[in-house]
Amino acid sequence: MKVLVDTNVLLDFLLEREPFKKDAEELFAAIDSGQIIGYVTATTLTDIFYIARKHTRSLELAREAVSSTLETMTICPINRNVLESAFTSGLTDFEDAFSDL
């Protein structure tokens, strides 16, 4: 199964944010075991870098968050056509619209 992992879910896992930490850990255990193929968008990487650095006040920890994401997840190829399709999909959450494409 392929799953597009939302930025917030990834941050819940990386930053161990409650109350969603346990659910995020279960998702990433399934990704690590190969039961699920995890996808993220390229913009998720820039978002997690910014938020992890702000949250931890550490450039090193922010870089580790991006590095571990790159090791674990598949990056969705996003181009203009995909962006336009997601934007015009009618979904209220722009990021969620990518999972339907």
- Domain-embedded: residue 54: yes
Per the domain annotation, does 27 fall within a domain?
yes
Tens-place pLDDT, residues 4-55 = 898 999 999 988 999 999 999 999 999 999 999 999 988 899 999 999 999 9
Residue type, 65: A
- Please tell me the total count of domains within the chain: 1
Q: Classify residue 15: in a domain, yes or no.
A: yes
Whether 101 is covered by a domain: the verdict is no
Regarding pTM above 0.85, the answer is no
Q: Which domain holds residue 75?
A: 2-96
Position 65 in a domain: yes
The answer to whether residue 75 sits within a structural domain is yes
Q: Is 43 inside a domain boundary?
A: yes
In whole angstroms, how far apart are CA 41 and each of 31, 78, 96? Answer: 16, 7, 11
Alpha helices in 6-93 (DSSP H): 7-14, 21-33, 42-56, 59-72, 80-87
The answer as to whether 14 is a domain residue is yes
